[in-house]
Amino acid sequence: MSTGSTLYGWRMRHVVTGEAVALELASVSLITRGASLLVDLVIYWSTLVLAFVALGFTGAGIGFNEAAAAAISLATVVGVLVIVPIAVETLTRGRSIGKLIFGIRVVRDDGGGVRFRHCLIRGLAGFAEIYLTLGLLPLLMGVFTERGKRLGDVMAGTYAIRARHPSVRPMMLPVPPNMAAWAQIADIGRVPDDLAARASRLLGTIQTGGRKVDTDAITAVGDRLASEIVTCVAPAPPTTSSVEFLSAVMAERRNREYQRLRIKQTRAENLHRRIHTLPYS
């Protein structure tokens, strides 16, 4: 079961796994897939040219007849343009040099990793649709399919996702001094995660140095977020600005999460130490 939505201009794929966990996998744009394919084609065709050059020198020395030369040439073309891409994609679980450069990976429709049969179908179909139609069929399929699939993806039940995302700088703003006493006793566990994420992004924008921001827009967004979050905390915060209130809530959430993780790690270390000091360890 899955639904689609749009986030930051990416087409999102909501996948529900067998463990009933919802995943959001961003499908790759047609331009990115085309660029990665172009890189792969340059590499494979360069390899094919070098292979024919090597075969030319070898054939001149050995003296292949016409039938043997034709068979070897056909085997070289199939090996470089079909077998090698299938092998590379299988061994790398959906990657290639072009995909690695652009940070994308091919996965199954349910979000799992591809296997040999998926790569085999994609490779065989890809040879036909890319070379026999000069790339026109993949282009049309990418435009009219939901997640930019080509024919090989439709047949294999796969699509391309972003495997590399830009790093997000964590929000490191401290609890404002005038809010420290309130933050220590405040119940902030009812703040929804999506609302907290929006507040964190806003504070990250404020925290980032060297970037000009629209103060009026930041204040307006901060006031709106503060009015939503204030209904989820208790007791009511002291009178302060919306940015300071958001900073106190998000910094305290961060501090409590860090303490929780530290306690969990300490318990795991103690358990590990006790297990390895038993007489039968």
Tell me what the mean pLDDT of segment 110-135 comes to.
90
Domain assignment of residue 168, yes or no:
no
Pick the last residue of a domain from 162, 196, 229.
162
* pLDDT band per the 50, 70, 90 thresholds, residue 209: low
Domain assignment of residue 281, yes or no:
no
Contacts of 174 (CB under 8 A, 6+ apart): 247, 251
Pick the last residue of a domain from 138, 162, 186.
162
Tell me what the mean pLDDT of segment 113-138 comes to.
91
> Residue 248 carries which side chain, given as an amino acid letter?
A
Instruction: Tell me what pLDDT residue 278 has.
Output: 55
Question: pTM for the complete prediction?
Answer: 0.56
Listing from the earlier edge strand, what are the strands of the sheet with 104-108?
A: 2-7, 10-16, 22-27, 158-162, 104-108
Domain assignment of residue 172, yes or no:
no
Domain match, 146 and 97 both = yes
Domain assignment of residue 128, yes or no:
yes
Domain assignment of residue 113, yes or no:
yes
Domain match, 157 and 181 both = no
Model confidence at 5: pLDDT above 70: no
